[in-house]
Amino acid sequence: MKTLSESDHFDAIINLAGAPIFGKCWTDERKQILLHSRIDTTQDLVQFIARAQSKPEVFLSGSAIGFYGNQGDTILDESSPGHDDFGHQLCVKWENEAEKTKEYGVRVCLLRTGLVIGKKGGFLQPMILPFKLGLGGRLGSGKQWMPWIHIDDHVAICLVLFNNTELEGAFNLTAPNPITNQVFAQTLARTLHRPAFLPAPAWILKPLLGEMSELLLGSQRVIPKRILGAGYQFEFAELEAALQQVLQG
């Protein structure tokens, strides 16, 4: 990270830095990379804010719906407790570091982000080719909930949090209509005009991916209660419209 001087001034800071959570199995070594890539950068920013001559007004700090852990069909809002697993522990440590900036009079917003749907990168891109080839399908039972958000809504919500000085604390950055993995697979296949009849059973995913399989098989039925309460209206509240915009727009 660029060395920041105490004379540098920023009205707002947003920190989304962290090694990709998907892609590599969660060995003990990988867990440490995931943790330190988030915590160390956040600590550096906290230390900068502590010594800065002019403090930022607001600090937006990344987190994830992994905060809640695997909780089945339970509806989860920002006041819901988390299930104690690695994802929850990672997010708690990340959030706790960010909240230290409150000691310096900085307003802190924690971005508990779901699966981001966008045209570049993200979790969707590796799925497109298999689904185009007719090789897509649900993961495991398909009953697990998948909180998602379109990138345009993610950016728009961040702008709301920047500008509304009354908003602070944790916010779920997820669309208001979470869907199950099976519905997601069916919707993606329909958008691509392909079938979705090739499921990936849990008994294959668990030994193949280890603990990381919880990212695919775990269930978080998350709703964005606080940002809805602040009056935000989602541009993409329904999955099909979001996928059509990304894949056909």
Which CATH number does the domain housing residue 149 bear? Answer: 3.40.50.720
CB-based contacts of 54, cutoff 8 Å, min separation 6: 9
Give percent above pLDDT 90 in the chain: 72
Residue 93 resides in a domain: yes
pLDDT (average), residues 45-68: 95
249 pLDDT higher than 70:
no
211 pLDDT higher than 90:
no
The DSSP result for 132-173, as a single string, is HTT----BTTS-SEE-EEEHHHHHHHHHHHHH-TT--EEEEE
Q: What pLDDT score was predicted for residue 197?
A: 82
Total domain count, the chain: 1
**d(Cα 25, Cα 234) in Å, to the nearest integer?**
34
Which candidate, 189, 214, 207, places its Cα nearest to that of 127? 189
Residue 35 resides in a domain: yes
pLDDT (average), residues 170-190: 95
20 pLDDT higher than 80:
yes
pLDDT (average), residues 64-87: 94
Residue 3 resides in a domain: no
Domain that holds residue 104: 12-248
Q: How confident is the model at residue 216 (pLDDT cuts 50, 70, 90)?
A: confident
1 pLDDT higher than 60:
no
Residue 184 resides in a domain: yes
Residue 56 resides in a domain: yes
The predicted-structure confidence for 112-160, as pLDDT tens digits, reads as follows: 999 999 988 778 888 888 899 888 899 999 999 999 999 999 999 999 9
**d(Cα 132, Cα 148) in Å, to the nearest integer?**
21
204 pLDDT higher than 90:
no
Q: What pLDDT score was predicted for residue 142?
A: 92
89 pLDDT higher than 80:
yes
Would you give the end-to-end CA distance of the chain in angstroms?
A: 35
User: Do 8 and 44 touch, CB atoms closer than 8 A?
Assistant: no
14 bridge partner residues: 60
Residue 2 resides in a domain: no
**d(Cα 217, Cα 215) in Å, to the nearest integer?**
6
Dihedral angle, C-alpha 143, 111, 152, 222, nearest 10 °: 20
Mapping DSSP to helix (H, G, I), strand (E, B) and coil, where does residue 227 land?
helix
Residue 150 resides in a domain: yes
pLDDT (average), residues 14-31: 88
Cα atoms in the Cβ-side hemisphere of radius 13 Å centred on 98: 27
**d(Cα 233, Cα 249) in Å, to the nearest integer?**
21
Residue 6 resides in a domain: no
pLDDT (average), residues 89-93: 95
**d(Cα 48, Cα 108) in Å, to the nearest integer?**
15
Q: How confident is the model at residue 2 (pLDDT cuts 50, 70, 90)?
A: low
Dihedral angle, C-alpha 243, 34, 88, 50, nearest 10 °: -110
What φ, ψ does residue 180 adopt, rounded to 5°?
-80, 165
Give percent above pLDDT 70 in the chain: 98
Q: How confident is the model at residue 224 (pLDDT cuts 50, 70, 90)?
A: very high
